[in-house]
Chains A and B, each alone.
Chain A
Amino acid sequence: MYPIVLLSVLGIVVLFLGFMKSKSVLLPATLLFLVLALASNFIDWNQGKVLYFYEMLAVNNLTLAFNAIVLVSAFMIVAMTRGFQDQEEAQPAEYYGIMLFSLVGAFMIIGYEHLIMLFVGIEILSVSMYILTGSDKSNLRSNEAALKYFLMGAFATGIMLFGIALLYGATGSFNLTDIQSYVSIQGRGVSYILYAGLLLLLIGMLFKVSAAPFHFWTPDVYDGAPTIFTTFMSTIVKTAGFAAIFRLLSHSFTPIYSFWWITLAAITVLTLLVGNIIAVYQNSFKRMLAYSSISHAGYLLIAVTSLSPQTENAILFYSLAYSIATISAFGVLMLVSKKKALEGQVDESYAAFNGLAAQNPLLAFVLAVSMLSLAGIPLTAGFWGKFFVFGSAVERGLVWMLVVAVLMSAVGIYYYFRAIIAAYLKEGDIGKIRIAPFYRIILVVATAMTILFGLAPGIFEKLL
């Protein structure tokens, strides 16, 4: 609860800081506020389940851990913006303010106890994302992306709200615990309205985490948005969205598992197939990462579908591994694409990385580690993420789904390694890229975390 209140107020403070003459205070202020939020997050640590806001928000160690992942990702991303000093038209104060507000939405959907809270949180998060997507006003593709995202997101929200209304009609409550007691008392005899409501609600939430067949907005939006905000979307929205889906299904709907698991299993397999196979055909690295985010949604869905005792750890670890690897991949992409920009048009293809290792060994190494982690090669955090996810599927006995997933991660190796091959083996004329010191620290820390969690995943479980 504390980070929600804190960031709501501090977001307004950031907006008003923007009126100062000097813009250089914004970045340190935002970073400081994020650290404050992270510290306040742990006030409730180990208190058990605590309810806030008239039982609309629940806090326990799991939600606090998700909050922490979101905050750490946000800290890294904000640090990589470098205050938007190289863009003339940028409005840094508004961007930082909106980022902080969107985090409030993320905390709400991570810890909601009431479906209205879920709805409000998803709206805060989504509306912020629509604005950030279209923040590059002079870029036609950014505008197109924002409009597409907004229209489709509005429809998804409508569907989700309809689902919530039907759930209320069936159970007479918005409260997750009340819904849980209704479902467990009625068992299989629940009203059909509840099934319809659950499916519609799931569709709305799966849209936000870009699971197939609700993924069609993802490539265009991720491609069109400014890269820094693509990073924000693909890490924070995904982490928070999966926390929300897991909370809904594990908290309220375990008694009717036999009803929803088959739907979710079909969506999982479809997401894995679509994400990985289409990613192979991409020539743009940024677009490939968009499809890769769809495929990672698929892996996370495996964990949700199997819903075993291991699932919450698996989702937590996978979100963390995915977030830091994605942040460092996008971080390298931002530097390289700007260096290779031609007449203001940034080059985001694989070819932009050609010969990166010759002059920039650090960047090439960071890129290689993040690609290995996303592909799930051992000794990186991504491997253990996949390992835990697959482990929870085995526990539930979903072996056929595991076969699909393993095949698809083999496909994934092809397109992730294309970037590594471009960086290390191809010839290119890319010169020395100057990296700001703070940016370098973030990249090194993200890489170090990926390797550290790859070598010793037990550290993470100790922290919990």
Chain B
Amino acid sequence: MLSDFGIILLFILAAIVLIMVVLGASRLLRPNRPNEEKLTTYESGEEPLGNANVQFNVRFYVVALVFVLFEVELIFLFPWAVVFGNVDLIEQTDGRWGWFALAEMLVFVGMLTLGLAYAWRKGYLDWVRPTPQVPHTPSPVPPALYEQLNEKYAPKVKVP
């Protein structure tokens, strides 16, 4: 008689065996003609450029963290939606159940919204925009003179 842990062990073993069988069978059956294109890293159809071990801007992590937070919130909303819409429970309680479930979820979402508002107010959501530095040379000659010179001596090129 297997205990529950025994079943889990069997499950793990079956997973390993299945993968070995599938991969082994495909290796035996398929033709083997590698070429350069096939061996490159698959990057959604883009041509891979450079090394993968580059430093990311640290701001990616903040955005990723906020994203994960709301992703988890979304996943939590699914089971809630099932319970929320339970017709039996709503009928038994004259509709109070729906309001109760809605209020509970509003508290949960409200907490997370407060967190988002906090991150927003703190400025974690603002991406730093590069401000281009226009080089400025202190020169006694006014820039307009240069413009005139350019106009005068620039080679006249006919634009076809």
- Name A residues whose Cβ lies closer than 8 Å to a Cβ of B: 12, 15-16, 19, 169, 193
Any A CB within 8 A of the CB of B121: yes
Any A CB within 8 A of the CB of B15: no
B39 smallest CB distance to A (angstroms): 36
Q: Which of B102-132 contact A (CB under 8 A)?
A: 111, 114, 118, 121
Q: CB distance B5 to A16 under 8 Å?
A: no
A12 to B5, CA, bound (A): 43
A90 smallest CB distance to B (angstroms): 15
Given A15-B118, A16-B114, 7 additional A-B pairs, CB 8 A: A12-B111, A12-B114, A16-B118, A19-B121, A169-B4, A169-B5, A193-B5
A417 to B118, CA, bound (A): 48
Tally chain B residues at the interface, Cβ within 8 Å.
Answer: 6
A16 to B113, CA, bound (A): 13
B17 smallest CB distance to A (angstroms): 24
B13 smallest CB distance to A (angstroms): 18
A19 to B123, CA, bound (A): 12
Q: Tell me the interface secondary structure of chain B in the complex.
A: helix
**Contact partners of B4 in chain A: CB under 8 A:** 169
A169 to B6, CA, bound (A): 11
A15 to B118, CA, bound (A): 8
A19 to B114, CA, bound (A): 13
A16 to B111, CA, bound (A): 13
A166 nearest in chain B by CB position = B5
B4 smallest CB distance to A (angstroms): 7
A191 nearest in chain B by CB position = B3
**Contact partners of A193 in chain B: CB under 8 A:** 5
**Which A-B residue pairs are the 8 nearest by beta carbons?**
A12-B114, A15-B118, A19-B121, A169-B5, A169-B4, A16-B118, A193-B5, A12-B111
**Contact partners of B118 in chain A: CB under 8 A:** 15-16
A53 smallest CB distance to B (angstroms): 13
**Contact partners of B114 in chain A: CB under 8 A:** 12, 16
A19 to B111, CA, bound (A): 18
A15 to B116, CA, bound (A): 12
A12 to B121, CA, bound (A): 14
A19 nearest in chain B by CB position = B121
A169 to B111, CA, bound (A): 34
**Contact partners of B121 in chain A: CB under 8 A:** 19
A195 to B114, CA, bound (A): 44
A14 smallest CB distance to B (angstroms): 11
A16 to B121, CA, bound (A): 9
**Contact partners of A16 in chain B: CB under 8 A:** 114, 118
A167 smallest CB distance to B (angstroms): 13
A15 to B120, CA, bound (A): 13
B115 nearest in chain A by CB position = A12
Q: Write 7 A-B pairs (CB below 8 A) sorted by A numbering.
A: A12-B111, A15-B118, A16-B114, A16-B118, A19-B121, A169-B4, A169-B5
A174 smallest CB distance to B (angstroms): 16
**Contact partners of A15 in chain B: CB under 8 A:** 118
Q: Which of B56-107 contact A (CB under 8 A)?
A: none
A54 to B4, CA, bound (A): 27
A94 smallest CB distance to B (angstroms): 9
B122 nearest in chain A by CB position = A19
B114 smallest CB distance to A (angstroms): 6
**Contact partners of A19 in chain B: CB under 8 A:** 121
A163 smallest CB distance to B (angstroms): 15
B111 nearest in chain A by CB position = A12
**Contact partners of A169 in chain B: CB under 8 A:** 4-5
A263 smallest CB distance to B (angstroms): 23
B61 smallest CB distance to A (angstroms): 15
A91 nearest in chain B by CB position = B122
A281 to B5, CA, bound (A): 49
Q: Counting chain A CB atoms within 10 Å of each CB, which of B4, B114, B118 scores highest? A: B118
A226 to B121, CA, bound (A): 27
A310 to B111, CA, bound (A): 43
A33 to B111, CA, bound (A): 19
B5 nearest in chain A by CB position = A169
B121 nearest in chain A by CB position = A19
A12 to B117, CA, bound (A): 11
A356 smallest CB distance to B (angstroms): 42
A218 smallest CB distance to B (angstroms): 29
